[in-house]
Structures are given as structure tokens and as C-alpha cells.
Amino acid sequence: MLFRRFLLFTVCLALLAVPIARSADAGSMSVQVRRSQVRTAPSFMARIVAILNYGDRVDIVSSRGSWSRVFVPDGAVKGWVHTSALTKKKIILKAGASDVGKNATSDELALAGKGFNKKVEGEFRTKNRNLDYTWVDRMEKIKVSNSGIRKFLKEGAVSPKGGVQ
């Protein structure tokens, strides 16, 4: 009788551990944009607690809508990242003997970071000489603080999806 109880307990414990092990294994992702902000809540208006760079690895703790709660393996960062900034692919940035074929070029990194580098931008401008970049250049220099965004939203009575935190 005691052996049956022990066996039943062991089987139940093993069945409970399988989903936990599976979710921990499937939850590792890489940052696929040049820079991604880790926030205190699943909202673009939440306070930024850290910046992740292209290729950084994170463990997914949970998800809420289009946001993922992440944990950086070194334990220094916990918070929310928009899922569009993540990929299940493991991104390798350093060349090693077996990884040489997997490395990204400077152009690929710029595109993966959803932006241009000087070389790519120069080539684009050369191919499109008839375009006027004056206003694009001016807009790139505009910086709006989070407090400025919050003020704008409050004055306009706008509530972003996910709320303001």
C-alpha cells in the first residue's frame, strides 16, 4: 500500500514537471532589432529599465498580448519586451571556427536592426539622387522624452493600448 502511494506520487510529480521543463526550454529567444527596450510593464509608455542589443539572448517567462516578459540569463534584467523585437533563431555575432558561415554582414545587421548604416544609406542616396532627404534628416534628429509623450497623450486624452505606466 505504501509502495503504491509512493509510485502514484512519483508519477504525478513527473507529469507536473514535464510542462515546466518544456516551457523553459522553448522560451529562449534572441533580440532581432538593433536595440530593444525592456520595460516595467507591457506598454510602450512603461518605464524603461534596460536596453537589449541585437543578438542578446533572453528567456521568456510569460506573454501578454504582443508583449513577452523576459529574463536575461545573467539575472540582471527582468521586464517586458515587445515580441516583434524577438526571434526564436539564435543569432551569432562572433566568428568562431564553426560559426563563420553563420555571421551577419554589416549590411545585414543594419537591416535586421530596422535601420540604415552609413554605407547602406549612401548607396541608397546614390541610386535615388532625385529624392530630397532634408526633412528625413531633420526628423531623425528629433528626440521626444517619455515625459513629453505622456504629456501629449494626457492633453489629447489618448490612452495607448496597454495603458500608460
For residue 76, pLDDT beyond 80: no
13-33 residues labelled b (16+ CB within 10 A) or e (exposed): eeeeeeeeeeeeeebebbbbb
Helix (H, G, I), strand (E, B) or coil at 19: helix
Please, what are the domains in the chain? 26-155 (2.30.30.40)
If pLDDT is split at 50, 70 and 90, which confidence band does 18 have? very low
Q: For residue range 122-153, list pLDDT tens digits in order.
A: 888 888 888 888 888 898 899 988 888 888 88
